[in-house]
Amino acid sequence: MTTSPIADPHAPTSTAPAGHTSEVRIRRAGPMDAELVDTMVREIARHEDSLEHVVAEPEDWRRMLARDDVQVLIATDGVQALGYASTTRRLNLWLAQDVLALDDLYVRESARNRGIGRELMLAVARLAAPDGLTVVWGARLDNDSAHRFYRRLGARLHTKVVAAWDPEGYAWVGADEAESPLGAA
């Protein structure tokens, strides 16, 4: 979550000319799309000034895109990729059910203002609908236009604190172990 910001989709279809989205198709990415997905992930990461958080390489994507719990949707105009939405399906303990976590929503700069972000979100909803899954994701605090976009789609938004505890952050715990009652447990 903390490493997967949502780019501003800039995609209010209400103002887009009707004919503009007619050529857009959305399809599920497979292992063959590893390089394409890798390229677009690095584009969104660069756009969000977060490139240092991307560890995944094409070989990782080849493996991840073959998993049932990973679904990446690619928007294309038949010639080139226009953007993508990446999702993972995961267990929520309180619900005792899976939720669909939206990791990235990205529309390439040249393809913005054509409603493609909205089409990708509708496709995500259609992934979630058969099992009645709640879709969950995070957005940057300062991205007001994205917040409005998500609310218009019917999502509920909350502000909260998210924490990340890296191995470097908890490295001291091991050293502490000897003195802890857990050390003898």
CB of 131 to a copy of itself, least distance (A): 9
C-alpha–C-alpha distance, residues 121 and 111, integer Å: 15
CB half-sphere exposure, 45, CA atoms < 13 A: 17
Burial 154-163 (b: 16+ CB within 10 A, else e): ebeeeeeeee
Q: How far is CA 153 from the centre of its chain?
A: 16
Q: Which is nearer to a copy of itself, 110 or 156 (CB)?
A: 156
Exactly one of 4, 36, 83, 114 binds a copy of itself (CB under 8 A); which one?
4
Q: Does 172 bind a copy of itself (CB under 8 A)?
A: yes
Residue with smaller CB distance to a copy of itself, 32 or 168: 168
| CB nearer to a copy of itself: pick between 79 and 165 | 165
- 119-148 footprint of a copy of itself as x/- string (CB under 8 A): x--xx-xx-xx--xxxxxxxxxx-x---x-
Written as one letter, the residue type at 64 is M
Closest separation in Å from C-beta 106 to a copy of itself: 12
How far is 52 from 118, CA to CA, in rounded Å? 28
Q: How many CB atoms lie within 10 A of CB 108?
A: 18
Nearest residue (CB) to a copy of itself, 108 versus 139:
139
Binding residues for a copy of itself restricted to 15-74, rule: CB under 8 A: 21-27, 41, 45, 53-57, 60-61, 63-64, 67, 69-70
Residues 6+ apart with CB under 8 A from 94: none
**Residue 105 in 3-state DSSP?**
strand
- Binding residues with a copy of itself: total (CB under 8 A): 85
Which H or E run includes 72? strand 70-76
- Identified binder of a copy of itself from the candidate list 68, 167, 175, 178, rule CB under 8 A: 167
Mask of contacts with a copy of itself, 77-116, x by CB under 8 A?
---------x-x-xxxxxxxx-----xx------------
